[in-house]
Amino acid sequence: CAAFRSGSNPRIEWKFQRGSSLVLIYYGGELTEPYRARVQFSRTSIRFQSVTREDSGRYICEVVGDGSHIAKSEVNLIVQGE
């Protein structure tokens, strides 16, 4: 997550956008269902243990730091295969 900033206690959120839908992956200090069973979280990244074509889309990391400063980083994932 290129948006990560050092600070006293930044709030980190990961979101998944596919088309017009937006799903929270990491929010409130924990992974959400159904990601909890197959995603590993660190303060700077998430790592999927397995992916399918349904996981293709945009992953957004937002970090809210001191003074409500928001930094955002995005990556597009394209899962190819059967």
DSSP 16-77: EEETTEEEEEEETTEEPTTGGGTEEEETTEEEES---GGG-EEEEEEEE-GGG-EEEEEEEE
More confident residue, 76 or 7: 76
Mean per-residue pLDDT, 7-18: 86
The candidate with the shortest Cα–Cα distance to 30, out of 9, 5, 13, is: 13
Q: Can you name the residues that pair with 61 across neighbouring β-strands?
A: 14, 73
Domain boundaries, the chain: 11-77
pLDDT in tens, 23-41: 999 999 999 998 999 999 9
Q: According to the model, what pLDDT value does residue 7 have? A: 63
Range of weakest confidence among 53-57, 62-66, 72-76: 62-66
Percentage of the chain beyond pLDDT 90 is 65
Q: Return the CATH number of the domain spanning residue range 11-77.
A: 2.60.40.10
